[in-house]
Amino acid sequence: MEHKRLQFLVPQYKEKEETISYLLDSIEWQVGIDKKDIGVIICSDGGEYILDKKFLKKYSYDIDYIICKHRGVSATRNSAFLLSDADYVMYCDSDDGFCNTFAIKIIFENINISEKEGKPFDLMSSKFYVEKQGDEKKPWGLSVFDHNNIYIHGRVYRRDFLVKNNLYFNENIWANEDSFFNISTNFYSKNTKALNIPIYCWRGNPMSVTHDPKYIMKTLHQLIYSNDSVVETMLLLGKDKKDIAKSVFDIICKVYLDMNKPDWHKKENFEYKDITLKTLKWYILKRGKLCEVLSDDEKKDVLQGARKTTHYGNIEIITFNDFIKGVVNYETK
């Protein structure tokens, strides 16, 4: 098999051919490139459904399909990366795809420019489309997501940069895993390129676990673990103490705001509430002292910023200070 310039790394769990074909077809339809320069590595996370080899062989570019034991999406992404050998990689979800037929040509053009300048980029981020539905009664629509530090969509990484800095997904995190990974890559990157043309589409797959109405409740504790890994990286790199403190205080504020929603207090959701409160208590006891460098006004600014985050509501049935006291003293009943 010829050496690839760019490989797309794709985790697959229960997605079938009709789902992953959107991504693979969008790669097949690319123009202005030599398909020998690209390849796809699909790594199964031990799901019950195995893709048909005949289906994969119909494409004109190389596809490697690897079946692994179930270890979670972070480990699956890492496995695909370790199997790659291209100069550059993209992490793609199995239900997403490229939004135009010249996306990969644009990627290669930017790779060529940076290499000719003698400064190959460590990572390139791009705007991307988000396919979403306001509610079940409204049609699906597209919106443009600006450059983002959290999501992996539309980001290209130079493989040697990731290897030399030991940048992998944290395998102890099975949700919000891209937050820690991307923030870490941003910290380490010495040459980040911004592409203002949307080339990728984050699709609103109704069957995705992220469309579960209880997804945030089920995974909010994972976001806390992800933030803890970010803080550990910031400390390791000697980042500004106030920047670290704001990162710590921000996640505490976001958990506070989300847990003010009525659904958290229903008996049926006690399991999610319990693990989130336990995790937040652990986090505050571990990282809370880092926030002491922030003034009261700076803390108010961070809390106000968290209120503007779309996922979190503005109805607060308990004050922030009372919430924190409750968390620190929390014990499972």
Q: Which residue has the tokens 């990728």?
A: 200
Strand-pair partners of 157: 89, 123
> What are 84-127's pLDDT values in tens digits?
999 999 999 999 999 999 999 999 999 999 999 999 999 999 99
Is the four-CA dihedral 285, 291, 295, 296 of positive or negative sign?
A: negative
Its pTM stands at 0.88
Q: How confident is the model at residue 2 (pLDDT cuts 50, 70, 90)?
A: confident
pLDDT digits (tens, 9 = 90+) for 23-66: 999 999 999 999 999 999 999 998 889 999 999 999 999 999 99
Report which DSSP code applies to 65. Answer: E
Q: Find the length of the chain.
A: 333
Q: How far apart are CA 181 and CA 287, in angstroms?
A: 20
Q: Could you tell me the residue ranges of all domains in the chain?
A: 6-207, 215-328
Determine the pLDDT at residue 216. Answer: 86
Residue 199's pLDDT is: 93
pLDDT of residue 187: 93
Q: What gap in Å lies between CA 189 and CA 122, rounded to an integer?
A: 6
Q: How far is C-alpha 108 from the chain's CA centre?
A: 23
Q: Tell me, what's the pLDDT at 204?
A: 67
Q: How many CB atoms sit inside 10 A of residue 256's CB?
A: 20
Which CATH number does the domain 6-207 belong to among 3.40.50.970, 3.30.930.10, 3.40.50.720, 3.90.550.10? 3.90.550.10
Rounded to an integer, the average pLDDT of 150-171 is 94
More confident residue, 333 or 2: 2
CA distance 260 to 254: 10
201, 163 contact by CB (below 8 A): no
Residue 1: which of 39, 50, 29 has the closest Cα? 39
Helix (H, G, I), strand (E, B), or coil: what is residue 119? coil
Statement: residue 69 has pLDDT above 90 = no
